[in-house]
Structure 1
């Protein structure tokens, strides 16, 4: 299977492994697991206390287990198939911590920070571990690989001016690209703050999670109200309006759920105002796509926004991993013995 590559995106709270055709980027099979980097790191610490297993060895054992599961699923032997690994696997909680690449960062992937591990008898895969990038006050791991792939997939290499790519998520990223280089980026803890407020604050009794995937118009209006409120006061006061909405019966608890989301997403996106700022490229998966698009519309930014279809976002990580792998056929950094 010389035309195949194992592509693994290992995040803080999730694991995704795919077998990919390098030439067509077609996914031939995949394994998804909820055991992210954080839980794997904690499991290693517990085992290391008793048997002294090294972090690298423990993480490679987990990878080997998932690769064998994928091989069994596909009825094939994946030994000697190279593996490219991105996400939080290169963090202080991962297989091995790598230094961040610094800005400016070329979006063709040529300046990615990587470490190459040669195959061993107990791990018969050449492994390419991809690091993240940093500024003086911010970091990211994983989104830079997704950005490399997105620009390749969408044929955006011709954009030579300045653009802002938005990657929504638990920690949303706004990445500024100019002349095919990342020149700056910002992280917004939008998703994490939502989860904390909805699950562990006084506001949890003022909202109600949706019981179906269908979102009705009154609930969308609640979201729009939250976006508008994000411009009326500071976020610390705005959050308390979720409580008063329920006390004064301004909104139902389900509407208030979306109001809270709109309040936080609106606060994040207001950083893109004034409207004469650089064009926006929204790069969101399907779970958040509708809400970010709706917030951009409410803020009158949608006309200046390029919308990337959600189905391309999942493919972007694979395209970025393959692109970086093909650029790094000669290892740049050898593992320490």
Structure 2
């Protein structure tokens, strides 16, 4: 079956592709060939390793990509668009491919000048979410290594902020003095940590070390310690992000354990949310990018 187009979600650590006829997915594949593992010359071979059998001789199949593939360290740097703006764009960057059966277009990310911030890939998920909810205004949180909080109104992203919460948790739990005392999970300890981080984010640094101290002095359970560490960090993030979620609809985009932790933390402080599955919304957003590109060329 000849494909109409290919959707590509290319992040720092993973590559995921879909082959589509219209809006119907007929092929799907993924690999661990993320941006951080590749040089510029490696991107096309990594992509073809997944989709070579999908391509038809004598026919060019268009592919639309989002994510870190468009970063300075990616396949081809794609300029950022400045907010306020719609999350989807017609300003795509064409990538010169060696394989004549393939034409790749990369969607741009978004940038915010003050305070300085950038995103690549998340804007496509936001576009997919909004495509399924016309007229929706509110706050969207995208948990991850670098979580994003986005304010959307009247069809445009008007503000966003990135938090390194996930990366800090990873570093503290694997490469700091706390690595010796964190393992497992405890839901009650997580929510207690959310309380502490949310109520006094100014004391976060001290309370992080108290995990180590309680382990030495009181034999703090390792599962309790790890969950409290996560709760402290997420609670502090929620406190700082309050201008984003306070008094308006909130959506979480993701389908990971981390997304569930954010949902539990928000519920604990009285904020109800709806969940949007990330792969589905990425695909919907790339579909919008394709339609806009087709409209622009027609």
Q: TM-score, normalised by structure 1?
A: 0.79
Q: Which residue of 2 aligns with 1:207?
A: 182
Q: Which residue of 2 aligns with 1:48?
A: none
Question: Following TM superposition, by how much is the alpha carbon of 1:196 offset from its aligned partner in structure 2, in angstroms?
Answer: 0.1
Question: Following TM superposition, by how much is the alpha carbon of 1:241 offset from its aligned partner in structure 2, in angstroms?
Answer: 2.0
Secondary structure at the counterpart of residue 60 of structure 2: coil
**2:68 is the counterpart of 1:93:** no
Q: Contact 1:112–1:132 (CA<8 Å) still a contact in 2?
A: no
Deviates more, 1:131-140 or 1:29-38: 29-38
Residues 121 and 33 of structure 1: CA distance in aligned 2, closer, same or farther (over 3 Å): closer
**2:111 is the counterpart of 1:142:** no
Q: Which residue of 1 aligns with 2:231?
A: 262
Secondary structure at the counterpart of residue 187 of structure 1: strand
Q: Which residue of 1 aligns with 2:191?
A: 224
Residues 198-230 of structure 1, C-alpha deviations (whole Å, 9 max, x = no match): 00000001211x3xxxx6xxx101101110110
Distance 2:148 2:98 in 1: 39
Question: Following TM superposition, by how much is the alpha carbon of 1:125 offset from its aligned partner in structure 2, in angstroms?
Answer: 1.2
Gaps of 5+ in 2: none
Question: Following TM superposition, by how much is the alpha carbon of 1:5 offset from its aligned partner in structure 2, in angstroms?
Answer: 1.8
Secondary structure at the counterpart of residue 20 of structure 2: strand
TM alignment of 1:1-337, pairs within 5 A:
1=1, 4-23=4-23, 26-41=24-39, 55=40, 57-68=41-52, 71=54, 77=56, 80-107=60-87, 109=88, 111-117=89-95, 122-136=99-113, 137-153=116-132, 156-159=133-136, 161=137, 163-208=138-183, 210=184, 219-230=186-197, 231-232=199-200, 233-249=202-218, 251-273=220-242, 276-302=246-272, 305=273, 307-309=274-276, 312-329=277-294
Residues 39-77 of structure 1, C-alpha deviations (whole Å, 9 max, x = no match): 102xxxxxxxxxxxxx3x542233223212x53xxxx74
Secondary structure at the counterpart of residue 183 of structure 1: strand
Q: Contact 1:22–1:322 (CA<8 Å) still a contact in 2?
A: no
Residues 103-139 of structure 1, C-alpha deviations (whole Å, 9 max, x = no match): 11114x2x35411247x66342121111100001000
Residues 166-219 of structure 1, C-alpha deviations (whole Å, 9 max, x = no match): 0000000001111110011000001100000000000001211x3xxxx6xxx1
Secondary structure at the counterpart of residue 300 of structure 1: coil
Question: Following TM superposition, by how much is the alpha carbon of 1:3 offset from its aligned partner in structure 2, in angstroms?
Answer: 5.7
Residues 292-311 of structure 1, C-alpha deviations (whole Å, 9 max, x = no match): 11101222223xx3x125xx
Residues 170 and 103 of structure 1: CA distance in aligned 2, closer, same or farther (over 3 Å): same
Question: Following TM superposition, by how much is the alpha carbon of 1:19 offset from its aligned partner in structure 2, in angstroms?
Answer: 1.1
Distance 2:239 2:100 in 1: 48
Distance 2:94 2:25 in 1: 23
Q: Contact 2:13–2:32 (CA<8 Å) still a contact in 1?
A: yes
Secondary structure at the counterpart of residue 147 of structure 1: helix
Residues 276 and 175 of structure 1: CA distance in aligned 2, closer, same or farther (over 3 Å): closer
Residues 164 and 61 of structure 1: CA distance in aligned 2, closer, same or farther (over 3 Å): same
Residues 170 and 121 of structure 1: CA distance in aligned 2, closer, same or farther (over 3 Å): closer
Q: TM-score, normalised by structure 2?
A: 0.89
Distance 1:186 1:112 in 2: 24
